[in-house]
Amino acid sequence: MKKRFAVIPLIVIMMLSLMAGCTQESGPEATDGNGEQEAPAMKLVAVGECTFAPFEYVDEATGQPAGFDVDLIHAIAEAAGFEVEYKNMDWNSLIAALQTGEADLVVSGMTITDERVLEVKFSDPYFESGQAWCVEEGSPIKTLDDLAGKTVAVQINTTADYAAQKLDEKFKEEGKPGLSIKRLEQAADVFNELKVGGADAVISDLPVIQEYLKNNPDSNIIIPEPAFTVEYYGIAMRKQDKEIHELVNKGLATIKASGKYEELYEKYFGTK
Ligand code: ARG
């Protein structure tokens, strides 16, 4: 007895939810009132780790993601005719989010590397960058080689982390003391680590260090040397999403030709 009463409402609920599903227009099969095919704009989810100003950060006033990458993907979407929503996510979850379908685009100042190319498809490069390092004014560390035996803060699993590991190996090969590497979860954590004395130096992407200095003029932090790597950022996508690859590259080319890219570049990196 008991069992039957429990099962009937369940079946009713299942039927109702099936019916509701049928009335919803969804996907490319959606038709208009005349039974003709409508082409609803594709809606894509973009993700990035939003502690990486000026590329992506949480705007203090709105609480929403903002930055060069956020504006860029919206401009690309507009030019290529798709819709996009940008969400904040942990750095280590970004590529996994593509694989689970939680996201379609990673727009996160992500450097195109040989290892990542094994897992994802990158758009055409959209930004030239490189690794640099910074210290507090008056630090005895004057060149990259002076980092032997010191502690450096990096964001985990970034090209800064990989550069630090390479440097550590190099020092050891040269018979010098190695580099101790503090691998932190968030991009912005590295600057706090330096400030509180938990690290002697920071390695990060040059434009991000420059932005930190701009926003923290009293930090007494200096960038003693130019960038020591050349890297290109790309938008990461699932390998099989050929249509999305084309749309994104087409949109990027369009905004480069139209001057929109230039406008965004000026907004975030201009000297004016
Ligand atoms: N360009 C570096 C990399 O690809 C760092 C990117 C970090 N981005 C971020 N939003 N935290 O490894």
Domain 43-129+232-269: CATH superfamily is: Periplasmic binding protein-like II (3.40.190.10)
CA distance 238 to 104: 7
Give the number of the atom of ligand 1 that is nearest the alpha carbon of residue 113. 4
pLDDT for 34 equals 56
Cα–ligand 1 centroid distance for 49 (angstroms): 8
* Torsion sign (Cα): 62, 66, 71, 77: negative
Query: Each residue of 61-84: pLDDT tens digit?
Result: 999 999 999 999 999 999 999 999
140 cis-preceded (ω within 30 degrees of 0): no
pLDDT for 17 equals 47
Query: Each residue of 180-222: pLDDT tens digit?
Result: 999 999 999 999 999 999 999 999 999 999 999 999 999 999 9
Cα–ligand 1 centroid distance for 41 (angstroms): 30
Residue nearest ligand 1's atom 5 by CA: 158
pLDDT for 12 equals 44
- Regions in the chain scoring below 70 on pLDDT: 1-38, 272
CA distance 116 to 95: 9
pLDDT for 40 equals 83
CA distance 102 to 45: 8
Q: E-assigned strands of the chain?
A: 43-48, 51-52, 56-58, 65-66, 83-88, 105-106, 121-122, 127-129, 131-136, 151-155, 180-184, 201-205, 221-222, 231-233, 236-237
CA distance 215 to 229: 24
pLDDT for 272 equals 57
| SS3 state of residue 37 | strand
pTM of the model: 0.86
Q: Which residues line ligand 1 (CB under 6 A)?
A: 48-49, 52, 56, 91, 108-111, 155, 158-159, 187, 205
Q: How far is CA 195 from the centre of its chain?
A: 24
Q: Report the residue among 47, 50, 51, 52 best suited for mutation to probe ligand 1: largest number of ligand atoms under 8 A from its CB.
A: 52
The residues facing 128 across adjacent strands are: 232
pLDDT for 133 equals 98
Judge: domain 131-229, CATH 1.10.760.10.
no
Q: Which amino acid is at 33?
A: G
| SS3 state of residue 247 | helix
CA distance 227 to 232: 13
pLDDT for 179 equals 98
Maximum Cα–Cα distance across the chain: 82
Tokens (6 digits) for 190? 């590295």
| SS3 state of residue 51 | strand
Domain with CATH 3.40.190.10 in the chain: 43-129+232-269, 131-229
